[in-house]
Amino acid sequence: MIKGSILAVLCFWILSCAQVPITGRESLHLVPNSDLLRLSLQEYEQVLKKSKLSSDEHAVAMVRRVGLQIARAAEDTLREMGREDQIAGYKWEFNLIEDDKTVNAWVMPGGKAAVYTGILPITKDETGLAVVLGHEVGHALADHGNERMSQALLANFGAMALSTALASRPQVTRDIFMQVYGIGAQVGVLLPFSRLQESEADHMGLILMARAGYDPREAVAFWKRMNEKEGGARPPEFLSTHPAPESRIAAIKGFIPEAMDYYK
């Protein structure tokens, strides 16, 4: 009986695993993407209703131009891997929210994205913005949100399905979703993800921005500027869910040669 239970659990975990594009890592996906996409669209519409969209035509055009170029690079990556079926799930949309105090950007499941004006002084130009959007699209392409949502649902509700959690505990479930995707977070672009996922998004982001025609070497300068903005006030790396600045930059430097093959 015990052996049968263990076998059932192992089968459940194996069937719930998915492979991350580019890196090939196996990750846990307990939530059907159709459920996530439905919730994503609902929450995205709510965010846009509550937010003030930027009227700066130049900045808005830049965000959409860079975002769509990164998105096309992501779709090309999936296509080359023989995963065309996943492309249909992305309905890319990039909006610029006018909020100079919020240094943030995020991409929801299905490609619904927001950039806050507070991050533009740090990105400085299109290439800096490509670092941010490459990173965030990397999270989306890797389905890190599904992985985090799966972990959060297990921690809060056991093996309860997302649809059941929404029906029985709608506010708690939506709060988890907002936390997982960093929506409304004001401290950088990295709040909800683990160090492993952050490093993976850095890696994927460099390749995506390079494929989109942006120099991945500029990522080092961006993260240095981000660190200066944060002022160095952070816990030690082993207590943090995010890589310390020195570790992140060192890792990025290690990923750059691979990304440069795509840039060239």
19 in any annotated domain: no
253 in any annotated domain: yes
- The pTM for the full model equals 0.81
Specify the number of domains making up the chain.
1
Which amino acid is located at 263 in the chain? Y
Q: Say if residue 120's pLDDT is above 90.
A: yes
**Residues constituting the chain:** 264
When pLDDT is averaged across residues 78-91 and rounded to a whole number, the result is 91
pLDDT at 16: 54
CA dihedral of residues 51, 55, 58, 59 (deg, nearest 10): -20
20 in any annotated domain: no
| DSSP H stretches of helix in the chain | 2-15, 33-50, 57-80, 84-87, 120-123, 126-141, 144-157, 162-168, 170-181, 195-211, 218-230, 245-263
| pLDDT above 70 as % of the chain | 76
When pLDDT is averaged across residues 115-119 and rounded to a whole number, the result is 95
pLDDT at 75: 97
15 in any annotated domain: no
When pLDDT is averaged across residues 79-107 and rounded to a whole number, the result is 93
More confident of the two residues 181 and 71? 71
Clarify whether 75 is annotated catalytic: no
Euclidean distance between CA atoms 141 and 133, whole angstroms:
12
135 in any annotated domain: yes
When pLDDT is averaged across residues 20-40 and rounded to a whole number, the result is 82
Q: Say if residue 187's pLDDT is above 60.
A: no
Joined together, the tokens standing for residue 210 give 């390079």
The band of 60, judged by pLDDT with boundaries at 50, 70 and 90, is very high
When pLDDT is averaged across residues 201-227 and rounded to a whole number, the result is 96
114 in any annotated domain: yes
CA 13 to chain centre: 23
The band of 2, judged by pLDDT with boundaries at 50, 70 and 90, is very low
60 in any annotated domain: yes
Domain that holds residue 108: 32-263
When pLDDT is averaged across residues 158-171 and rounded to a whole number, the result is 66
- Across the strands, what pairs with 112? 93
Q: Which of 136, 147, 198, 218 is catalytic?
A: 136
DSSP letters for 157-182:
HTT--HHHHHHHSHHHHHHHHHHHHT
pLDDT at 98: 98
Q: Which residues contact 203 (CB under 8 A, 6 or more apart)?
A: 22, 23, 138, 251, 255
